[in-house]
A = this chain, B = another copy of it.
Amino acid sequence: MEKIDSYAIFVEPFHVDFTGRIFMGVLGNHLLNAAGNHSQKRGWGIGALNETSHTWVLSRLSIEMTRMPEQFQHCTVKTWVESVMRLFTNRNFAILDSEGQPMGYARSVWAMIDLDTRRPCDLLSLYDGDILNYVVPEEDNVCPIEGHGRFSFRNAMLVRTIDTYYSDVDINGHINSIKYIEHVLDLFPREDFERGIRRFEIAYKAESYMGDRLSFLVQENEAAGGTDVEIRKNVTDGSAGDVVCQARVIFNK
């Protein structure tokens, strides 16, 4: 079976922002669908995994675009497995326009957990190491964007606290990965989106649930030329709470 998969996307009217560009959260959703589709066709989809009480957990997602898909555009997401370690696998993506020209790339990191113990599994021993059959040869791993950055929050400022509701929650009862992206971007003013997003990174650290109150702390990152955002839950007067996600947003100059 081919190691690289193609997944077609069409940019629907309600999936674009006021500039006509696709919302980063919607693009992220398409990437996760492309990943799910690629895994499923290779026997590693969540359906098959559930039968042995395993599931994928997304740990990191970094998307960097030179052009964002626009309303009514047809694009293609290519995705493949870059590498597999014991506890993590790296999956990369290319987003191509209808002529096959790259518009951007993405990187992601996934862990496998045991649904009963909620603990990480050894990817290399699961199903006799079958996953190694899908790692692309190095020459096919074309993903010319930087790796996932590191976060260090030293003097972040609390800028917003929100409650979470029904629409935030996925089938597992967790705040869904895409909604965090929306909530992070909602911190920024209109002018930033007129220039457009160049790079968006997110690190998922812990689950949160419907009804959790989320606090957003922001810190400029001059070295990266962007803004770092930390999402915490259970922040109270007496407690700094627990880190749920960390994100970095870099707008075009």
Residues of B with C-beta under 8 A to A127: none
By beta carbon, the residue of chain B nearest A21 is B171
**Number of contacting residues on A, CB 8 A?**
36
Residues of B with C-beta under 8 A to A183: 167
Determine if B171 and A188 form an interchain contact, defined as CB atoms under 8 angstroms apart.
no
Determine if A14 and B170 form an interchain contact, defined as CB atoms under 8 angstroms apart.
yes
Q: How far is the CA of A176 from the CA of B14 in the complex (A)?
A: 7
Query: Assuming the A-B contacts A13-B33, A29-B12, A33-B13, are A166 and B178 also in contact, with contact meaning beta carbons closer than 8 angstroms in the complex?
Result: no
Q: How far is the CA of A183 from the CA of B210 in the complex (A)?
A: 14
Q: How far is the CA of A190 from the CA of B212 in the complex (A)?
A: 13
Please tell me how many copies of the chain the complex holds.
2
Determine if A18 and B169 form an interchain contact, defined as CB atoms under 8 angstroms apart.
yes
**Interface hits, A111-168 → B, CB 8 Å:** 165-167
By beta carbon, the residue of chain B nearest A190 is B210
Determine if A12 and B25 form an interchain contact, defined as CB atoms under 8 angstroms apart.
no
Residue A23 CB within 8 A of the other chain: yes
A1 CB, nearest partner CB in chain B, Å: 21
Q: How far is the CA of A46 from the CA of B71 in the complex (A)?
A: 12
Residues of B with C-beta under 8 A to A187: 165
Q: A12-B29, A167-B185 are in contact. List 18 more A-B contacts (CB 8 A).
A: A13-B33, A13-B36, A13-B46, A13-B171, A14-B33, A14-B176, A14-B178, A17-B171, A18-B169, A18-B172, A18-B173, A18-B210, A19-B171, A25-B167, A166-B186, A166-B188, A167-B182, A167-B186
A residues neighboring B (CB under 8 Å):
12-14, 16-20, 23, 25, 29, 32-33, 36, 46, 71, 165-167, 169-173, 176-178, 182-183, 185-188, 190, 193, 210
